[in-house]
Chain A
Amino acid sequence: MTKEPILSAKDVEIQFSLRGRVLSAIRKCSLDLYQGETLAIVGESGSGKSVFTKSFLGMLDANGKITGGSIMYDGIDLAKYTTEKEWMQIRGKKISMVMQDPMTSLNPLKKVGQQIQESIELNQGIKGPEAKKLALEMLAKVGIPDPERRYNQYPHEFSGGMRQRVVIAIAVACHPDILICDEPTTALDVTIQAQILNLIRELQQELKMTVVYITHDLGVVANVADRVAVMYAGQIVEFGTVEEIFYDAWHPYTWALLSSLPQLGLKGEALPTIEGTPPNLFNEIKGDAFAPRNKQALAIDFEEEPPYFEITPTHKAKTWYLDPRSPKIEQPKSIRQLRAKMEERG
């Protein structure tokens, strides 16, 4: 891991206008990505994981826009990009993305080979047979047997896992620096999931990519990630290495997430859940966004937004618990026992 980040998002704010109202989906969110690392962003639905990463390649929906902060990549501030033309310099070539549902991510009326070739022709300035050769190589690289025959088939002739391989082939065809995987295995069979994750890992090593996983599957996180960022209500509330997040978390939301891991459940007992609902992002949020759902919330949590407290150079959490003035709060027992339990279950 080099010290210089490859991409650095700082205080990013993203707002959506919905029927005349303004929704603040991302509220001053900062994140550094380093060359070759794997970062997982976790959080419940609506926490802004997808929106945040989509803004790195200008894929926000038409009614959303970046209203503050900066996204520095290669000396350029992507947050200042407004036209599709500017974004086309980034998409595919520099930053690429794999979406959740392979069943709908491919054009049903176009041969899969052509869909890969299109990407190559577009971004590498190669045309015709040469591009086709590269497309065939790409098919082979993502583990599709008999690429010559498969090149001429249509998406409906592929299974879900195979389609996701094709989608990945399209996304990495032009050797991007950063690959964002938005829940790449959610729509797939459990047995296929591991294969796809392995494939992404292999490609990452071969092409020296930085990979960002967006997921709510903590099992996936433990398997693939170097670092984890936990998002809640449009902010990153805690980030650190996998070890630090799993075994030494400090934000109460991270605790709540980890305690609801199904692996920790006891037979016959209901699995712990996080009570309440995330805050309404149409309203202004005061203090710590998680406070209303946190049984051990401090008085200050409702008043003032906590800053980041550094636990180690790689681990920071945005909670008043870490302020020296706050009362002594211990990590919940289940969190302290997590390591033992995880090891026990392998």
Chain B
Amino acid sequence: MVKYTIKRLLQTLVTVLIVATIVFLLMRMLPTDYFFTEDQLMKLTPEQKQEQLEAAGLTDPVGEQLIRFYGQILRFDFGESRRIQSGVDVVKVIGSKFTVSMRLGCTALVISLFVGVFIDIIQTINKDKLLDHIGTGYTIFVNAVPSLVSYSLVLVFGSTVLGLPSLYSTRNPGPSSILPVVCLSLASIAHYALWTRRYMVDELNKDYIKLARVKGMSFNSIMVKHVFKNAFVPLVQYIPTSFLYTIGGSLLVERFFSVPGMGPLLNDAIIRYDVNVVQTLAIIYGTMGTVGVFLGDVLMMLLDPRIKLVGKGETR
């Protein structure tokens, strides 16, 4: 099992490295104008520009640059932002936004996990009855209606009826976070409710539930001792990934409530050719995705005894 985990960890690292390389090489295909701020582009002569590029090593062969880039990654040096916040370390630019996104995201994740699973249990217990249909209705509504429409509904309801602040403010992060968090949770509650319900109903129809009933177990203890854990296993795989993605922030929600989070940052960085920021963000997102899958698999392995055996072999 340890061997399998280490193997998967190495695979994850290789994947991240490949992502970094591809992103780096793609960025090198851009015209070098990105190195200068809009101001400098206007004022500097071509000779001056050439001089600065050479000084920064951007005229070296790509291979050499790539190796230097690897070295920088190892030292966690991601360079400076050129355009978004000129001359500021990229880590700092991202860092401040990161904390905001992470706080909102984590709250939303915890809420949606609990609420989603709770809704689902109610749905499963009342399968094909009114409460189940209401739950399914909610899921369908959230998935079918464009997010902006449901966000607007939350916004209107929250600000006019409940009097909550409609825009995020750093001076008042508590109350002004409520609406963004609700919006972030909307979809994932539906997601968790839908999938957990599916897995629970699947489990309930399995033969071992019949045997559990034959031996005289009550419905409630079957739910607690058998169904819940078994239904949770396939779901657990996705939790780390969704956790990591919440850190990434949501473009739509953060824009909608003017939250200074990570979501809009990538968009801005791309539009404004801030290469170092784009590069770093791409690496962060890539790492989150692969690490999420890796953690999900490890969690699954811890919960499902059948997977340990598979890990020893070469299949997977």
Could you tell me which A residues sit within 8 Å of B by CB distance? 57, 59, 84-85, 88, 90-93, 96-97, 99, 101, 104-110, 118-119, 122-123, 154, 156, 167, 170-171, 173-174
C-beta contact mask, B199-222 vs A, less than 8 Å → 1, else 0?
Answer: 000000011101111111111010
Q: Are A57 and B225 in contact (CB under 8 A)?
A: no
Q: Are A106 and B208 in contact (CB under 8 A)?
A: yes
Q: Are B208 and A88 in contact (CB under 8 A)?
A: no
Cβ of B226 within 8 Å of any chain A Cβ, yes or no, is yes
How large, as a class, is the contact surface on chain B? 20 to 34
Q: Are B309 and A171 in contact (CB under 8 A)?
A: no
Q: Are A110 and B211 in contact (CB under 8 A)?
A: no
Cβ of B43 within 8 Å of any chain A Cβ, yes or no, is no
> Within the complex, which residue of A107, A122, A174 is in contact with B230, where a contact is CB–CB below 8 Å?
A107
Q: Are B214 and A171 in contact (CB under 8 A)?
A: yes
Q: Are B305 and A92 in contact (CB under 8 A)?
A: no
A121 to B31, CA, bound (A): 74
A96 to B215, CA, bound (A): 7
A88 to B213, CA, bound (A): 8
A294 to B208, CA, bound (A): 40
Cβ of B3 within 8 Å of any chain A Cβ, yes or no, is no
Q: Are B211 and A91 in contact (CB under 8 A)?
A: no
Top 8 nearest A-B pairs (CB, nearest first) are: A92-B216, A104-B207, A119-B215, A92-B215, A91-B216, A154-B305, A107-B208, A97-B214
Shortest C-beta distance, A340 to chain B (Å), equals: 42
Q: Are A122 and B215 in contact (CB under 8 A)?
A: yes
A342 to B54, CA, bound (A): 99
17 contacts between A and B (CB under 8 A): A59-B210, A59-B214, A84-B218, A88-B217, A91-B214, A91-B216, A92-B215, A92-B216, A104-B206, A106-B208, A107-B212, A108-B230, A109-B229, A109-B233, A122-B217, A154-B305, A156-B305
A237 to B16, CA, bound (A): 71
A170 to B217, CA, bound (A): 12
Cβ of B304 within 8 Å of any chain A Cβ, yes or no, is yes
Q: A59-B214, A97-B214, A154-B305 are in contact. Are A84 and B219 (CB under 8 A)?
A: yes
B299 contacts across to A, CB distance below 8 A: none
User: Taking each of B206, B215, B229, B233, which has the highest tally of chain A beta carbons within 10 Å of its own beta carbon?
Assistant: B215
Q: A99-B207, A118-B225 are in contact. Are A109 and B213 (CB under 8 A)?
A: no
Q: Are A59 and B211 in contact (CB under 8 A)?
A: no
Shortest C-beta distance, A87 to chain B (Å), equals: 8
> Within the complex, which residue of B213, B221, B226, B309 is in contact with A107, where a contact is CB–CB below 8 Å?
B226
Q: Are B218 and A118 in contact (CB under 8 A)?
A: no
A101 to B278, CA, bound (A): 56
Q: Are B230 and A109 in contact (CB under 8 A)?
A: yes
B213 contacts across to A, CB distance below 8 A: 59, 91
Shortest C-beta distance, A82 to chain B (Å), equals: 14
A173 to B206, CA, bound (A): 21
B304 contacts across to A, CB distance below 8 A: 108-109
Q: A154-B305, A154-B306 are in contact. Are A104 and B208 (CB under 8 A)?
A: yes
Q: Are B211 and A173 in contact (CB under 8 A)?
A: no
Q: A104-B207, A154-B305 are in contact. Are A110 and B214 (CB under 8 A)?
A: no
B212 contacts across to A, CB distance below 8 A: 107, 118
Q: Are B211 and A99 in contact (CB under 8 A)?
A: yes
Cβ of B164 within 8 Å of any chain A Cβ, yes or no, is no
Q: Are A123 and B216 in contact (CB under 8 A)?
A: yes
Q: Which A residue sits closest to B307, measured CB to CB?
A: A156
Shortest C-beta distance, A175 to chain B (Å), equals: 12
Q: Are B215 and A105 in contact (CB under 8 A)?
A: no
Q: Are B214 and A109 in contact (CB under 8 A)?
A: no
Q: Are B215 and A91 in contact (CB under 8 A)?
A: yes
A150 to B304, CA, bound (A): 18
Q: Are B305 and A109 in contact (CB under 8 A)?
A: yes
User: Taking each of A84, A85, A171, which has the highest tally of chain B beta carbons within 10 Å of its own beta carbon?
Assistant: A84
Further contacts, 18 of them, CB under 8 A, given A104-B206, A171-B214 = A59-B214, A84-B219, A85-B218, A88-B216, A91-B213, A104-B208, A108-B230, A109-B229, A109-B230, A109-B233, A109-B305, A119-B216, A122-B215, A122-B221, A123-B215, A154-B305, A156-B309, A167-B211
